[in-house]
Structure 1
Amino acid sequence: MKKYIIFFCVGLFLVGCKSKKTVVRSGELRTKNVVSHKKKPKTKTYKDLPKDEGKFVSFKINSIQEYIDTFSEVAQIEMMAYGIPASITLAQGLLESGYGKGELAMKTNNHFGIKCHKGWDGDYDFHDDDEKGECFRKYNHPRYSYRDHSVFLTTRSRYAFLFNYHRNDYKAWARGLRKAGYATDVKYPQKLIYLIEKHNLDQYDSPSKAASGVKKQPVMIVASNQKTHIVQKGDTLYSISRKYFVSVEELMRINKMKDSNLAIGQKITVK
C-alpha cells in the first residue's frame, strides 16, 4: 500500500513539473511571436521640416475666370517686385494647377508644380508625377506659392536670360521657360500662349491697364507700397518676414540689425 502511495505522489510531482514547463514554453512562444510581428517604423525620404506659419487654407475655385479674378492682383504684385510678366505667372498657375482644382494644388496649395529640390526647408507632400511619390513643396496659402515661384525663377542661373526679354513679350517668355527646362512638355510654350490670348491675360502686364471693376477674391496679401511695420506683441522677425514676403536676412540687412531682438512699437522697414 505504501508503494502505491509513493508511486502516486511521484507521478503527481512529475505531472506538475511538466505542466509548469509547458506553461513557460507557451509564454516564451507568445512573447517571441509578438516581437516578430512588431511593425517597423516607416523610413522617411525627407527629414521633418518646419511648416509655414499659420494654418493650411483650402481654396475652392470653380472656374478659370474665378481663378484669374482671385490671383491676378497677386501676379501683378510679383511682377512689380521681381519682373516676371503677370500674364506668364497667371498662365503657368492656371496650367500647372488645373486652375486650382488639380490634386496637387488642392492638397498643397502648390500652383506651379515646384518640387522640393535640394535645400528646400519648408513643408512638403508626396505626389505622383514623372515618377511615383515625388516630393513637392507645400504651402499654407497659394500666395506663398506665387512668391516662391518668383524666387525660384530669379535665383537659378538657367532662367537668367529670361529677364533680358521685355515684360510685354510673353511669347518670348513662354518659349524661354521651355528652353530653360521648366517643363518637359514640348508644347508647353503653345499652351501658355493659348491661355494668355484666350483669357486676355496680357492686360495684367501693364498694371494701369488692368481690368477695372472686377471683384477680387480676398487673398490676404499686403500692398506692395507699404514701407514699414510697427512691431506688435508676439511679433518676431520670422512672422514679419512671412507677412511681407521678405527673408529674415533681408529684414536684418535693410534695418541694420545685429540680432533678431524686437521691441513693441519699433518701426521695421519691410520694403
Structure 2
Amino acid sequence: MSEDSLPEELIHDILAYCILVSSQIFLDPANSRAFFHRDGAPPSPLAGKQLLLVSQRWRRIGAPLLYTSLWLSRAFHTLSVVDLFKSRPSLAEHVVDLRLDGGFIPQLLDLVSLASNIRNVHLSWNLDALDDTTTLRKVLLCLRPHTLYLGHQRSIEVRRQSDTLSTQVDSLIAGEWSSLRYVHLAYWYQLTAGTARALQGAPSLEAICIHCEDLENWSWSRDLLAFFDNPSLHAIYTRSTFSPDFTRKNLLEHGVRKAVVDRLSFVRHAIEWGEFDEPVFDL
C-alpha cells in the first residue's frame, strides 16, 4: 500500500501516536528539552517535526498536533510562533499546553490572545536583558489555567522584578484563576508564605503535587503548610520514595491537623516519568 492510499484518519492516528504527549510529562519541570530527545523518550512535539516531512499531506494533517503542546524559552522562538499563528490562526486554537520559560517579549501577548484554548500552563523564568516583565504580567492576566506547573522563579540579577511577578502569581492563584484545579510544585521549589496562603485560598483547587523532601526544606513552618487547609483540596501527589502512610504520619507529627490529613488522599508519584501508584489526577 502506497502512502497516497492511506486514509487521512489513519495518518492522523499515526501522527498523534508519534507526536502527542501528556500534559503531565510535557509540563513537568523535571523534564528538560534534552529529555525529549534522548533514546527511549516519550513522544512529543519537540521530537516529532521530522515526521511532517514525509509529504505535504502529512504536514497538513500533522501540523495542528505539533502545536497542542507549545514550549517557549527564547525571544526568537516567540516571534516565529506569533508570525505563524497570525498567518494560520487555526493552529493557535490547538494549543492546550503552554510551557513558558522565557521569550517574554511584547509579541507574547499576541500569541496568548490568539491561543484561546490554553488549559495547562508551566511557568518559570530565568529573566535576561530581552525579557519584558511588564508583558509577562499582562500575559498572566490573560491566562485561565486549569492546571499550573511552577518551576524556577528567581533571578539574582533582577530580584525585584522576579518578586513582583511571584506576588502577582500568588494573587491570581487566590482569585482570578478561578478554574485552577491542580498545582505542581517543582523539586526544590522555594515556597513562600504568600504562595502557601494563595494555595490555601484558591477557590477550586483539588490537588497539589509536591516533593516530600521539600517539606523538610521548608522547615515545617506553619505558614508554609497553610495550603493543606484549603477545604476544596482532596489529593496530594507526593514525588518521593516515601509511602502514603509515611507521609501522613510525618504531617501529623509536624502539626497538620488530623482532620485535614484524614480528608486528603495521598498518591505516591514514582521516580520515573509519568508513572503513579494510583491513577493520576484527571487534568
- Answer yes or no: same fold by TM over 0.5: no
TM-score bracket, shorter-length normalisation:
under 0.3
Structure richer in strand, relative to its length: 2
Greater percentage in helix: 1
**TM-score, normalised relative to structure 1:** 0.24
